[in-house]
């Protein structure tokens, strides 16, 4: 669980992230989970965009991803979710 100060730090770092992993129609399947898991291990902090044509609620999706990926939801802004998980092999972000 992240403290408010840690979340604020991660939000600031997330501002400079331009690459997003997009989720469209359909449910989050194993391939999407594997892709996001690898991205979290490599980058620790990622943005996930939910496409306009997706009927999935952003808050529900954030909770689902956090549970499946064992990560923390830093923030949800509109249709963008910011996720954080400390890398096991090569931690870069110091909180």
- Cα–Cα distance, 20 to 34 (Å, whole number): 15
- Cα–Cα distance, 77 to 93 (Å, whole number): 22
How much is the average pLDDT of 62-70?
94
- Using pLDDT thresholds of 50, 70 and 90, give the confidence band for residue 62: very high
How much is the average pLDDT of 10-28?
87
- Cα–Cα distance, 9 to 26 (Å, whole number): 32
- Using pLDDT thresholds of 50, 70 and 90, give the confidence band for residue 10: very high
What are the boundaries of each domain within the chain?
4-84
Task: Name the CATH topology of 4-84.
Answer: Translation Initiation Factor IF3 (3.30.110)
pTM of the model: 0.91
pLDDT exceeds cutoff 90 at 9? yes
């Amino acid at each position: 669980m992240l403290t408010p100060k840690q979340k604020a730090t991660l939000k600031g770092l997330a501002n400079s992230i331009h690459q997003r992993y997009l989720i469209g129609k359909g449910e989050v399947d194993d391939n999407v989970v594997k892709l996001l898991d690898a991205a979290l291990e490599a980058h620790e902090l990622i943005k996930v965009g939910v496409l306009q044509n997706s009927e999935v609620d952003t808050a529900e999706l954030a909770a689902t991803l956090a549970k499946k990926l064992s990560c923390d939801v830093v923030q949800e802004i509109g249709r963008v979710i910011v996720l954080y998980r400390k890398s096991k092999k090569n931690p870069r972000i110091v909180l």
